[in-house]
Amino acid sequence: MLLKIAWRNIWRSKTRSIIVILSIAFGIWSVAFLLSFSNGMVNSYIERSINNELAHIQIHHPKFMDEPELGYHLGDVQDLMDQISKDSTIKSYARRTLVYGMISTAKGAQGIKISGISPEMESQVTSINNAMATGEYLSESGKNPVIIGQKLAKKLGAKERSKVVLTFQDIDGNITAGAFRVKGIFETYNALFDEGNVFVRRKDLNALLNDPVISHEIALKIHDLHQLDHVKSAMKNAAPNLSVQKYSEISPEVELYESQISIASIIIIGIVMLALIFGIINTMLMAVLERYKELGILMAIGMNKVKVFFMIVIETILLALIGAPIGIFIGWLSVRGFSETGINLSSFSEGLRAYGISELIYPELSTMLVGYLAIGIGITAILASVYPAMKAIRLDPVSAIRKL
Amino acid sequence: MSVIEAINIHKVYNPDSDVPVHALRGIDLKIDEGEFTAIVGPSGSGKTTLLNIIGGLDRPSEGKIIIDNQDISTFKDNELIDFRQKNIGFVFQSYNLIPVLTARENIEFVMLLQKRTEQEREARVMELVTAVGLEDKIHKRPNQLSGGQQQRVAVARALASKPKFILADEPTANLDSASTTQLLDIMHQLNREEKITFIFSTHDQRVIDRAERVITIDDGKVVNDEIQN
Ligand SMILES: Nc1ncnc2c1ncn2[C@@H]1O[C@H](COP(=O)(O)OP(=O)(O)OP(=O)(O)O)[C@@H](O)[C@H]1O
Ligand SMILES: [Mg+2]
């Protein structure tokens, strides 16, 4: 019954109710869009990281992630490799030999991470091969080819076909150096990555290391992200002595980004809520004052204060219940509109590249965000209704009824 | 047996201000079950104030209102609301129906607050709309009814939960004479058939003529109290 009265009361001053509903809808829409956008930004970052480097799952010697030393290699993983190649949930995989060392040219030297890869396999997992700015990606032809990042190339004054020297320790602890020829220069969306990474063929690197078998990392990409945990535990079973990690476990900044986005979402929702609260209080106060006499009658004939209070609260919540889905729907529509084309940020792309963010952002409205919004708007409506409802129950029925 | 007993009721409005209004100055009254009583007096004599205090809408500054052996002037706000809901039906001068509810819903309202069953409500509503002659108007909202019709709905609403008595403050003041006669007929009939006690204030001589007892107040005091034929 309270619900019925509340519902009808809302439609008594249609214009006013519609304005409130629209402002709730607009508030929700703006939050939904803004947060979908930053969500898209984070996702773009994560996706880039997965595609350039992380893949979905990585397998290492348990100590390698803390101390990436040559000695913490995977050992003999032939059985594991066989199993991986047969597993149909796994889309592609790459085996890498990783060494930290130095690259030098006549112009200078720089500490770097050297990844020894199998060009063909690697191109199935990461997309460095698609990020070549000049020259070519690694292939089986040529002697000791290397590809380096744009930023590093500039720093070292290296060009395509330049000769560079890679220096590092071999398996026996001896310093060893190899001459490599720059086959190509890549440029990803992450400048830091471009500065600190070079790629060579794994067999070339292993030869210099004096061990044809060792490797430090197996990176897997799977078909369906929902299977991530499942594949992870399958790998763990197959290689109980090795460490198996998901991308989010490997790259702490990915997790950090994700949690920061949650915090930012809550803050933004909070600000919009605050603005809405004042608007709603104002409107509901008007609605209460207008109906002073009627509320007096209700109390005179025996509607107690608790019920009067809840009637006002319910009215407010109903407004939110109408406004919120509209806002979420429009938010969803506009996000969907951009999710095909993306939002072009190319005018800022220099700045963004430093953070590893691409210039096309595909906004994404997550269920988590919709959940936050729903909770936020619920709290808003309840908070905003309390003051007008208090006002309503404090009225004195006698003087309310005397008013004509 | 008296349903209502007012003992030495005083009411002062704005007691702490420069111009306190002494609206009631020592009213003593006993009203018995089944009475059909008019409270009359010039404008400003205190009729509305007295009815409000008897009905537990307002509190006396001094004195007691005893209803069913309870002194309601000691009740807390929410107890009073509850008490009104269970024992008293109100009819106001300006109808005062709830505009968003239909006639039927207005009549049902108090029964809903009392959580009566669907069948009970249905039966009572039909009984009452028949009594007030509005069978064909039950789905109309107040603004689709004439003043007389609205006031008949208000009487039906006041009666719905079978209260001990009905307080009506100038129920006919806004009605034309045909509607006034009709409303009085209905009130009188319900008074006889349902044994409901009616107390109403009025200025209207035709209404006064229909009352069985007439209490006259002036300047906050009872100046005359007589039973008519
Ligand atoms: N809320 C109030 N504050 C101050 N004075 C009041 C208030 N209500 C009523 N009064 C005064 O109390 C006195 C009695 O008023 P009341 O309304 O009870 O008279 P009444 O007999 O019902 O008059 P009427 O026939 O005009 O309805 C009047 O002098 C009125 O001005
Ligand atoms: Mg009056």
So what's the pLDDT on residue A104? Answer: 94
So what's the pLDDT on residue A189? Answer: 78
So what's the pLDDT on residue A355? Answer: 60
So what's the pLDDT on residue A36? Answer: 84
Closest to A300 (Cβ–Cβ): which among B57, B86, B112?
A: B57
In the structure, what pLDDT confidence band is assigned to residue A191 with cuts at 50, 70 and 90? confident
**Structure-token pair, residue A156:** 């070292």
CB atoms A305 and B110 under 8 Å: no
In the structure, what pLDDT confidence band is assigned to residue A47 with cuts at 50, 70 and 90? confident
> Residue A4: its chain B contacts at CB < 8 A?
105
Q: Which of B98, B114, B116, B141 should we substitute to test contact with A (largest number of A Cβ atoms within 10 Å)?
A: B98
CB atoms A301 and B112 under 8 Å: no
What distance in Å separates the CA atoms of residue A345 and residue A360, rounded to the nearest whole number? Answer: 6
A184 closest CA partner among A170, A174, A194: A194
So what's the pLDDT on residue A374? Answer: 86
CB atoms A401 and B57 under 8 Å: yes
Mean pLDDT of the residues in chain A = 88
So what's the pLDDT on residue A353? Answer: 58
Q: What are B159-192's pLDDT values in tens digits?
A: 998 898 999 999 998 888 998 998 899 899 989 9
Provide the whole-model pTM.
0.74
In the structure, what pLDDT confidence band is assigned to residue B21 with cuts at 50, 70 and 90? very high
Burial class (CB in 10 A: 0-12, 13-18, 19+), A50: buried
Percent of chain B with pLDDT over 70: 100
Task: Assess whether the C-beta atom of B47 lies below 6 angstroms from ligand 1.
Answer: yes
- What residues contact B44, with CB distance under 8 A and at least 6 apart? none
What distance in Å separates the CA atoms of residue B166 and residue B199, rounded to the nearest whole number? Answer: 6
HEC-encoded secondary structure of chain B: CEEEEEEEEEEEECCCCCCCEEEEEEEEEEEECCCEEEEECCCCCCHHHHHHHHCCCCCCCEEEEEECCEEHHHCCHHHHHHHHHHHEEEECCCCCCCCCCCHHHHHHHHHHHCCCCHHHHHHHHHHHHHHCCCHHHCCCCHHHCCHHHHHHHHHHHHHCCCCCEEEEECCCCCCCHHHHHHHHHHHHHHHHHCCCEEEEEECCHHHHHHCCEEEEEECCEEEEEEECC
Mean pLDDT within A333-341: 80
Mean pLDDT within B104-128: 93
So what's the pLDDT on residue A134? Answer: 93
Query: What's the B26 CA to ligand 2 centre distance in angstroms?
Result: 18
CB atoms B82 and A304 under 8 Å: yes
Min Cα–Cα distance to chain B from A403, Å: 10
So what's the pLDDT on residue B54? Answer: 94
So what's the pLDDT on residue A311? Answer: 93
So what's the pLDDT on residue A338? Answer: 80
- Asked if residue A404 has pLDDT above 70, the reply is no
What distance in Å separates the CA atoms of residue A333 and residue A129, rounded to the nearest whole number? Answer: 36
Provide residues of A within 8 Å CB-CB of chain B: 1, 4-5, 8-9, 12, 293-294, 297-305, 307, 397-398, 401-402, 404
* Total number of residues shown for chain A: 404
So what's the pLDDT on residue B152? Answer: 92
Q: What are A77-124's pLDDT values in tens digits?
A: 888 999 999 989 999 999 999 999 999 999 999 999 999 999 999 999
Q: Which amino acid is at B137?
A: K
Task: Assess whether the C-beta atom of B54 lies below 6 angstroms from ligand 1.
Answer: no
Containing domain of residue B182, as a range?
36-45+77-227
Mean pLDDT within B142-169: 92
- Asked if residue A154 has pLDDT above 90, the reply is yes
So what's the pLDDT on residue A25? Answer: 92
Report the number of distinct structural domains present in chain B: 1
Percent of chain A with pLDDT over 70: 96
Task: Assess whether the C-beta atom of B143 lies below 6 angstroms from ligand 1.
Answer: no
Mean pLDDT within B54-60: 92
Q: What are A246-292's pLDDT values in tens digits?
A: 988 888 777 787 778 778 878 888 888 888 899 899 999 999 998 88
Chain B (67-126) residues lying within 8 Å, Cβ to Cβ, of chain A = 77-78, 81-82, 84-86, 89-90, 92, 94, 96, 98-101, 105, 109-110, 112-113
Query: What's the A181 CA to ligand 2 centre distance in angstroms?
Result: 106
In the structure, what pLDDT confidence band is assigned to residue A72 with cuts at 50, 70 and 90? very high
> Residue B99: its chain A contacts at CB < 8 A?
12, 294
Query: What's the B47 CA to ligand 2 centre distance in angstroms?
Result: 5
CB atoms B109 and A301 under 8 Å: yes
Most ligand 1 atoms within 8 A of CB, residue of B47, B54, B174 to mutate: B47
- Asked if residue B206 has pLDDT above 80, the reply is yes
So what's the pLDDT on residue B135? Answer: 92
Higher pLDDT, B169 or A345: B169
Most ligand 1 atoms within 8 A of CB, residue of B10, B48, B203 to mutate: B48
Task: Assess whether the C-beta atom of B173 lies below 6 angstroms from ligand 1.
Answer: no
CB atoms A5 and B100 under 8 Å: yes
Q: Which residue of A has its CA nearest to B85?
A: A302
CB atoms A9 and B100 under 8 Å: yes
Lowest-confidence region among A29-43, A249-263, B56-70: A249-263
Lowest-confidence region among A395-404, B30-39, B138-147: A395-404
CB atoms B100 and A1 under 8 Å: no
**Sequence spans of domains, chain A:** 2-49+255-402, 62-241
So what's the pLDDT on residue A308? Answer: 93
CATH assignment of the domain containing B122 = 3.40.50.300
Of all protein residues, whose CA lies closest to atom 29 belonging to ligand 1? B44
Min Cα–Cα distance to chain A from B48, Å: 9
ipTM value of the model? 0.91
Mean pLDDT within A330-352: 74
Q: Is residue B9 part of a domain?
A: no
Percent of chain B with pLDDT over 90: 75
